[in-house]
Chain A
Amino acid sequence: MAQLTFREAVAAALEQEMARDESVVLLGEDVGSGGVFKTTAGLKDRFGAARVWDTPISEQAIAGAAMGAAAAGLRPVAEIMFSDFYATCWDQIANEIAKACYMTGGQLTMPLVVRGTNGGGLGFGAQHSQSVENWAMCIPGIKIVSPSTPDDMWGLLAASIRDDEPVLVFEHKALFGTKAERPTGDHLVGLGEAARRRAGDDVTLVGLARTVGMCEQAADALGGDGVTADVLDLRCLVPLDAAAVLASARRTGRVVIVEENPGQLGWGAGVAAILAEEAFDDLRAPIVRVSGGNVPLPVAAAMEAEVTPSAEKVAAAARGLLEGRIPAATTARA
């Protein structure tokens, strides 16, 4: 079977949707030459300069132009090279795009996508490594997609482009090289549905993007102890498949949520609150989060690993819950 990398999946989704709908246009820094991560490779050659627009380093103008083009009926896909740079155009995203439909009483809609590379693990340092899905999660009015597999990268990005709402799609840098079987034909994965990556009864492990692989590895390690873990890949934070998490939690009674952002106020806190409020009676142990540390990300390898979730940390947290104790220092050491 033909293989597909996570990186190629981005271009595959864009190509599929651009071929299908000529209102889909791309803009971003160096997108014409394929971009720093080569995720838009070949698209300018295929669709031409009228569909693929290289921009200056002007994130506010990029995000704002996407908003305007969407208001005018196009389906723009804007690229913000590193999701850390959302901070430079956060007004456009948080105050303008997210609110346009609501505050105009539905007169404006925002069928746009903003893509950005996200996450750490590669030594890119404090300003190029953050996982910032949680920034967006504070703002009602934006959908949040963060895939973990090449297949989902393709299908979810394609569905995001077809979606009539603004969607931020996070592409984890450390996953670009991962490979899977290439889907055949047109590919689409609906937003808002979690995927079960492992089935189990003793503990639920909830992950997103890179932490899904950590959950899978932890589940394998726990399997060696005779414990079965249910691994859920949320895939989207908005819309959130809360039903899937609640159902699994009710069955296993134990939940470990694994988020790459700092635990101080990660997306996992929101998921944990839902579980506490809606599944309290079925829980047999406290909900635990394994998260990034509450510090900026350092560059030196061992230091970065120290403050990043890992399969070992997830397995240790799950074992703690199964042994009836609250695992120490799973989130950040205070």
Chain B
Amino acid sequence: MLRIRQFETKLDVLYRQGRVRGPAHLGLGQEAIAVGVAAALGPGDASLGTYRGHAHALARGASEEAVLRELLGRVGGVCGGKGGSMHITSVEHGYYGSYAIVGGHIPTAVGMAWASRIRGDGGVTACFFGDGTTNIGAFHEAVNLAAVWKLPAVFVCENNHYMEYTPIGDVIPVERPAADRAPAYGLEPLVVDGNDVAAVREVARAAVERARRGDGPTLVEATTYRLTGHSVADGGAYRHPDEVSAARARDPLVRLATDLARSGEMTVDQSEALVARVKGEMDALAAHVLAEPAPDAAAAWTGMWSDGSSTWRN
């Protein structure tokens, strides 16, 4: 969780230095969800996320260096320079991709869960999306299908209370974007504090077990807050500063450090030293990646088909 925090904090700096091409959506403040759910998944399980997906890839074990190479447009990126920030994918780690069309990946996740059911391989698919995403038809169609077919899926709504610049309350007729819709699909309304990594892991474990047992999907609403703008280009002026500072007080990393200090597992000094060490590692990683060359332009003509080619005619 700390590594992800420091990775994205560094990325924010790099963006401001003009090193990142295109948009990037940070999940600063939301890391406990990615980490807590990933901790409940096994190596044979799949997960899918959104354009706000760096944390989800890293939490599954994707290489920090390969992800950073992708983000900085350097050779050896995890998607070969083709995907960029919004499409970080690491199938080798069970992370089947980041998708930038809101809701578009939820039916895909259902299909992966369906395949697990057909093959009986015991695999579970987790799918992450935002609160605003519960308003698109694809969400409803996908959750309904998973429920009807009792598929081994875990839907995780990261409720950060905003759909871009719009407070979620302005665009849903219920209070809780996912939990209050769950009963319509025969699912339990389930809310967890998404800033409490242990609580997220516990809820996720139960959902994953239920899915593996063949008892069908779970829809989890994890409440959280994004500490920075919708994307790196957004200053977040539509949010009251008091609201943001209150959210900072609930920062999942601060909370974890406090819990660890209280339980005696890690002193405040130890955790501060750890933060400093990881920060230094991210600085070094960035310097290393920045020194690498850009991918070859001609690679743009490769890899549209699975045999590596892109030809469409003879």
Could you list which residues of chain A lie within 8 angstroms of chain B, going by C-beta atoms?
29-30, 33, 36, 54-60, 84-85, 87-88, 122-128, 264, 293-296, 298-307, 332-334
Contacts and interface: CB of A to CB of B under 8 A. Distances in A.
State the 5 A-B residue pairs at the shortest beta-carbon distance, nearest first. Answer: A299-B84, A123-B22, A300-B81, A56-B135, A123-B21
Contacts of B249: none
A301 B72 CA distance: 10
Contact of A127 (B101, B310, B312): B101
Contact of A298 (B82, B85, B136, B163): B82
Interface string B60-99: 0000000000100100010001111111000000000001
Given A87-B101, A127-B99, A334-B314, A303 B137 contact: no
A88 B138 contact: yes
Contact of B101 (A29, A60, A84, A123): A84
B295 A300 contact: yes
Interface stretch (B117-125, B273-281, B298-306): B298-306
B135 A301 contact: no
Contacts of B312: 264, 294, 332, 334
B73 A301 contact: yes
Given A30-B165, A88-B138, A128-B100, A123 B301 contact: no
Given A29-B163, A127-B99, 17 more contacts: A33-B238, A56-B135, A56-B136, A58-B135, A58-B137, A87-B101, A88-B138, A123-B21, A127-B101, A128-B100, A293-B300, A294-B312, A295-B300, A299-B73, A300-B73, A306-B301, A332-B312
A57 B83 CA distance: 23
A292 to B, nearest CB: 11
A63 B194 CA distance: 34
Nearest to A60: B137
Contact of B136 (A33, A88, A296, A304): A88
Interface residues of B, number: 47
B47 interface: no
Contact of B163 (A56, A59, A307): A56
Given A56-B171, A58-B136, A303-B81, A124 B164 contact: no
Contact of A296 (B82, B163, B238): B82
B132 interface: yes
Contacts of B267: none
B295 A302 contact: yes
A124 B100 CA distance: 10
Nearest to B104: A88
A38 to B, nearest CB: 11
Given A58-B136, A299-B81, A306 B298 contact: yes
Contacts of A87: 101
Contacts of B83: 125-126, 298-299
B245 interface: no
Interface in B261-314: 294-301, 304, 310-314
B29 interface: no
A296 B310 CA distance: 10
Contacts of A54: 166, 170-171
Contacts of A293: 300-301, 310
Interface of chain A, main secondary structure: loop
B140 to A, nearest CB: 10
Nearest to B312: A294
A144 B58 CA distance: 43
Contacts of A57: 102-103, 132-133, 135-136, 163, 171
Given A299-B84, A300-B82, A303-B299, A125 B100 contact: yes
Given A56-B135, A299-B22, A127 B86 contact: yes
A307 B301 contact: yes
22 contacts: A30-B165, A54-B171, A57-B103, A57-B136, A87-B101, A88-B138, A125-B86, A125-B100, A127-B87, A264-B312, A293-B310, A299-B21, A299-B70, A299-B84, A299-B85, A299-B87, A300-B21, A300-B77, A301-B73, A303-B297, A304-B300, A306-B300
B172 interface: yes
B166 A30 contact: yes
A333 B310 CA distance: 9
B42 interface: no
A54 B166 CA distance: 8
Contacts of B135: 56-58
B295 A294 contact: no
B23 interface: yes
A302 B297 contact: yes
A125 B297 contact: no
Contacts of A122: 21-22
A55 B227 CA distance: 24
Contacts of A59: 136
B133 A306 contact: no
Contacts of B164: 29-30, 36
Contacts of B313: 334
A298 B136 CA distance: 27
Nearest to A298: B82
A303 B300 contact: yes
A128 B137 CA distance: 20
A124 B314 contact: no
Contacts of B297: 302-303, 305-306
